[in-house]
Amino acid sequence: MAKGHKLKQSKRPEPKAEEAGISSVRAVDRSIAILQSFTPEQPLMSVIELQKRVGLSRPTLYRLLHTLASRGLIEAEGDPQRFRLAHGVMSLAHVWLKGLDVVTIARPIVEELRERTGETAALFRLQEDRGICILECESRHVLSISRGIGDSLTVAQGATGKAMLAFMDPARQAAFLDRLTDQQRAQLEEPLRIARKKGYTTSRSEIFVGAVAVSAPYFDHRGNVIGSIGIYGPSARVNDDEVARFAKLVIDAGQRISRLLGFEDGLSVRKPSTRDASRQNA
């Protein structure tokens, strides 16, 4: 391909029907590889940079770029020419986001938590300054703890509430804390600091006497906290070792839900130890 070649309209004969099968699948695979080459760190790339990513010849790469551009998925700019994702990708993302149902997405993860721990696992959604239970898989033990779907409390209460409060946008968090008394704010300061550091919260006998809860947040595609996932059970079964184990499970569950909702970064926290769990008594 000559130097300075530009993406332009060209008429090419349609492939024969018998040639269309396997070659079209290969073209789709290569086109997807091109789209997935763009990253937040490198949103704009030259043909040479794209070639290194996808390993295609320049004529093939230009043909695929032309097709993607005609569908509004790629756009070219500048001289020398560089490429970026175009508005069509956002349109597809918008459709995908509109179709997301967090309860449907998270249900297998919540059910898995219940099976792996034997305790009640639940999903909460942040609504204004309250956490609302939108999914609960109750423990099969005779002695169990249950909040119930629809139950709601302020985000200053319980492990599931503080897991949301700790990771709120700073301005939103500050506005909420400003409405509390000095004593209430002082009581929250240390639990929120620990939650931000460890990635999870715990509570003991805060909502129900004798109940222990462990919770972690989950995020939308923009990285905004929109809820929490928690495990709770009676202190007769949930000791410090179990709290440490539950903490790892809820952190992982929150990250999995966040990824399914389009959030790529996840939480970068170290795995909690038994000592961490015993110290965090939010």
Q: Is 281 exposed, middle or buried (0-12, 13-18, 19+ CB in 10 A)?
A: middle
What's the structural domain count of the chain?
A: 2
Q: Judge whether 230 lies within some domain.
A: yes
Q: Judge whether 55 lies within some domain.
A: yes
Q: Judge whether 206 lies within some domain.
A: yes
Which residues touch 200 (CB under 8 Å, ≥6 apart)? 159, 163, 214, 215, 216, 247, 250, 251, 269, 272, 280
Pick the last residue of a domain from 65, 96, 127: 96
> Residue 198 sits in which domain range?
100-279
CA separation, residue 281 to residues 126, 210, 243, 245 (Å):
22, 13, 11, 16
Specify whether 53 is located in the same domain as 153. no
CATH number for position 253: 3.30.450.40
Which residues touch 89 (CB under 8 Å, ≥6 apart)? 35, 73
Listed in sequence order, the DSSP H helices in the chain are 17-37, 47-54, 58-70, 87-98, 102-117, 158-166, 170-178, 182-198, 240-260, 274-279
pTM score, whole prediction: 0.67
| Residue 87, pLDDT score | 87
| Residue 124, pLDDT score | 95
- Here the tokens at position 243 are 């709290």
Specify whether 46 is located in the same domain as 72. yes
Q: Classify residue 34 by its DSSP letter.
A: H
Q: Judge whether 9 lies within some domain.
A: no
Q: Judge whether 12 lies within some domain.
A: no
| Residue 3, pLDDT score | 46
Q: Is 45 helix (H, G, I), strand (E, B) or coil?
A: strand
pLDDT of the chain, 282 residues: tens digit per residue = 444 455 544 444 444 544 445 556 888 889 999 999 998 889 999 999 999 999 999 999 999 999 999 999 999 988 888 999 998 887 777 676 665 688 999 999 999 999 999 999 999 999 889 999 999 999 999 999 999 998 999 999 999 999 999 999 999 999 999 999 999 999 999 999 999 999 999 999 998 999 999 999 999 988 999 999 999 999 999 999 999 999 999 999 999 999 999 887 644 443 444 444 444 443
Specify whether 248 is located in the same domain as 209. yes
